[in-house]
Structure 1
């Protein structure tokens, strides 16, 4: 067996294995560039309608004509005969003399993926923002304490040294953010702010 035949035999294994991994989605074609009129040596997942023995494409002919043609053309746009969009990659295979012997080409049908991407974009889409910020996790007593302490620290105070108006504001802020749904939230506020329960309820009116 010649070196060229060995290369083609091994590449044929790859063509079938890769094509069978993506049935109905990816066409894998092995071209024998030594015989451009009957270049298709193997094809798996024939999405283009081609068959073994069909001629080389323009890309294959360009490789045959120019030894300096790029070894790999990656992810270039293409189109199947029926109009479906494709993404293609073409890999040239050289022998030890540097001559192109074969090309392994992958043609991915992206028409289905495009439709799926459009559907996912619509599914992930949202309308306008809610009128207030919403957190989807359960509030905790530690978070309530942090809210009050941060509010006071931002104003250069401890929670208990805040003015009455500021204490009223932070109580209402705690309510807006859902902390008043916590068990023992009111006792926690009375302890943090140094006010009575009656005062907390008065602030909430």
Structure 2
């Protein structure tokens, strides 16, 4: 989709979010994101639940807290926290965290134990969900997976069937 078409869609949706927020009342906040903007993806907000603002970003990595919660709940027999199907995040980093966690839980493997094949499956799932269409997505995903950017780029090329020049990559 062209930038022009995306801009037109966002412009058409901006007035709609006011109606959505009004329909569901004061406990509802509707946030419109333009993922092309990276850290400043919020382009419109209707309702006041979280205090998010246009251009806003929340830069808090809660991955370790979520992992600790999952670890501590296991001996008690509790299931890990359910990942919501819709993510209301203030920035792309939080969206990536939720997506990584959801995919890891679905696959039953912690990030540190992913083989290259499982990491390729994970990256393929992200690519199908257009995660890598967002600017600076690769470094963010690499950080979450504990891999280098070059490894993610190489794996992504392999997922897409693209040949890259250079020495063979080590299987992990």
TM-score range for the pair, normalised by the shorter chain length: 0.3 to 0.5
Which of the two has greater strand per residue? 1
Which of the two has greater helix per residue? 2
Q: State the TM-score, normalized to the length of structure 1.
A: 0.31
Structure with the larger RCO, 1 or 2 (CA within 8 Å, 6+ apart) = 2
